[in-house]
Amino acid sequence: MKEYNDQITALDPRRELPSLVRYLTADRLMGIVEEAQNGDTRELFALYRDVITNDNQVRSEFFKRKIAVLGDPVTVIPFKKKEPADVAACELCGEVIENKAFAGAESWLMNAALFPVAVVEKVFAPLPGGGFALKSLVPVHYQLLDYSKGAMRIFDVDETGNPLPTSHEVTPERYIVHRCDLMPTPDNWGGAMRSILFWWLLRTMSRQWWADLLERFGVPFLKGKYSDEKGRSTLERAFRLAVRLGAIVVSKNTEVEVVQAANGDSSNAHERFITICNQEISKLIVGQTLSSNASPTGELGGGTANLQGEVRDDIRKADAKALAATLRGQLFEQLLAINGQTGSAPKILFGSESAREQSATLSVIGKLHEAGLEPDDDALNTLSERIGFGIRRVAPPQSPMLPFSASQLILGRGSGAPEPPVVVPLSAADSVDDRPAATRADDLARAFADDLAPLRSVIAESTSPEDCIRRVEDWVSRHNPSNAADVIEKALYVYSMAGARSARPSATNKKH
């Protein structure tokens, strides 16, 4: 077998099977299904191709199913944000998302929503400095899938793309195999698309049945009345001429009526039958019918519409989750291994929840904040998956005030021209002239006198600017002064300029 940086599966488009729908009957359809169950799936998958290509209902609903995932932005986030190896692994795998081959492979893998399986070949290219990069992702045509030996294999092809009678195993080192069908049936039984074939065939055959109905009963015919044999002969000759002339001439006593055979029941039967078939196809593919047929539900508030919308969202999330697991386990992990990366493969996010679900999530977070609670760090990954992109905690704003440290003492220069404060070790505080601190303490006593006097101890007991803000806000909330903003601003100013030590009342100002 060739190296993994060489492509080996490429089918010549001219080798595809011709269309099968022209002479398809119910017996022939059952024969194709039985052949697939015995291991030969080529005609079954060719019929799937014809149905999706020719039928507007199946094509449009399948398109909706795929773009519900493909239309969302793709984001990769580190498995653990605080692990450097996981962050490096995320950066390497993020380059795969930007590769132009990724979008085509993503679309091909989503075929597994109706087909039983979708296979993509991985081709890597060596880098000059060592390691490997993703070169291309090549879809493996369904005509190359071989189930004759039970397990899925892939037919070999020659250099021109012609299938050969030999086949090889589907190795995880070379291929991505994606399955989205949740039913416990083998691939060669046809997957979800098998259920659509019979509705499609009935609807297609009903066209001929409807044409036969119109030919026999839908065309108006002539009805004549006569009173004797002479009148009968006259009418018969007139009817024969009417086929060519389009009109007849009879005597005064002879009556001719034009009778319309098709009534309301027969003329609308075909339309009702087509509607039923389309609804069944829509329910199987997208889980609801309102997106294809705008029919009134007779409800105020759209309860049925909301319920069907939730079903469609559930299908979209399940498809995205299955595709993300396939890409992470069969592409990202291999890319990290061949490049010697030790980090875990990143998580893949396809879009986000619906606007209604996002609003409910954010509402819960807001209520937690009001109750004094907040999600922990482990919950950020879950929230990122629900919102659709990576999130992190907001870094606290840097305070313009000088930081307070238990091993440092901040002293002002005293009154007069403003000068930068002096930071000295706390162990040397006793040997420093404390007259500037006493001056600041006097200012503090004058600023917080009378009913604001308790704030002096609040500031003195604070251990950091953030702690000071919290303590002052708590005191203000209980005492509710009219100038709360000014009080907090003044307290922070005194704390930052004088420091907690100089904010303590000294013996010279106890009288205040």
Based on the fold, state whether residues 385 and 455 are members of the same structural domain.
no
The pLDDT of residue 183: 82
d(CA 324, CA 224): 73
**Does residue 324 sit within a domain?**
no
Based on the fold, state whether residues 250 and 375 are members of the same structural domain.
no
The boundaries of the domain holding residue 361 are: 354-395
Based on the fold, state whether residues 253 and 224 are members of the same structural domain.
yes
Based on the fold, state whether residues 35 and 127 are members of the same structural domain.
yes
Domain endpoint, select from 367, 395, 423:
395
Cα Rg of the chain, angstroms:
40
Q: How confident is the model at residue 9 (pLDDT cuts 50, 70, 90)?
A: confident
Average pLDDT score over residue span 284-312:
65
**Does residue 25 sit within a domain?**
yes
**Does residue 400 sit within a domain?**
no
Helix, strand, coil proportions of the chain in percent (round to 5)?
A: 55, 10, 35
Alpha-carbon distances, residue 98 vs 91, 102, 136, 389, 497 (angstroms): 11, 7, 12, 16, 52
Based on the fold, state whether residues 25 and 142 are members of the same structural domain.
yes
Q: Dihedral of the CA atoms 400, 402, 404, 408 (nearest 10)?
A: 170
**Does residue 299 sit within a domain?**
no
The pLDDT of residue 349: 85
- Give the number of domains in the chain: 4
Identify whether the C-beta of residue 159 lies closer than 8 Å to the C-beta of residue 53: no
Q: Which residue has the higher pLDDT, 475 or 45?
A: 45
Based on the fold, state whether residues 419 and 502 are members of the same structural domain.
yes
pLDDT in tens, 322-365: 999 999 999 999 999 999 999 999 999 886 666 666 677 777 77
The answer on pLDDT for 510 being more than 50 is no
The answer on pLDDT for 216 being more than 90 is no
Based on the fold, state whether residues 202 and 183 are members of the same structural domain.
no
* Number of Cβ within a 10 Å radius of residue 263: 9
Based on the fold, state whether residues 164 and 209 are members of the same structural domain.
no
Q: Which residue has the higher pLDDT, 21 or 444?
A: 21
Based on the fold, state whether residues 129 and 250 are members of the same structural domain.
no
**Does residue 423 sit within a domain?**
yes
Based on the fold, state whether residues 187 and 205 are members of the same structural domain.
no
**Does residue 345 sit within a domain?**
no
Which range of 220-224, 306-310, 314-318, 338-342 scores highest in mean pLDDT? It is: 338-342
Based on the fold, state whether residues 46 and 133 are members of the same structural domain.
yes
pLDDT in tens, 408-441: 434 444 444 444 444 444 344 444 444 444 555 5
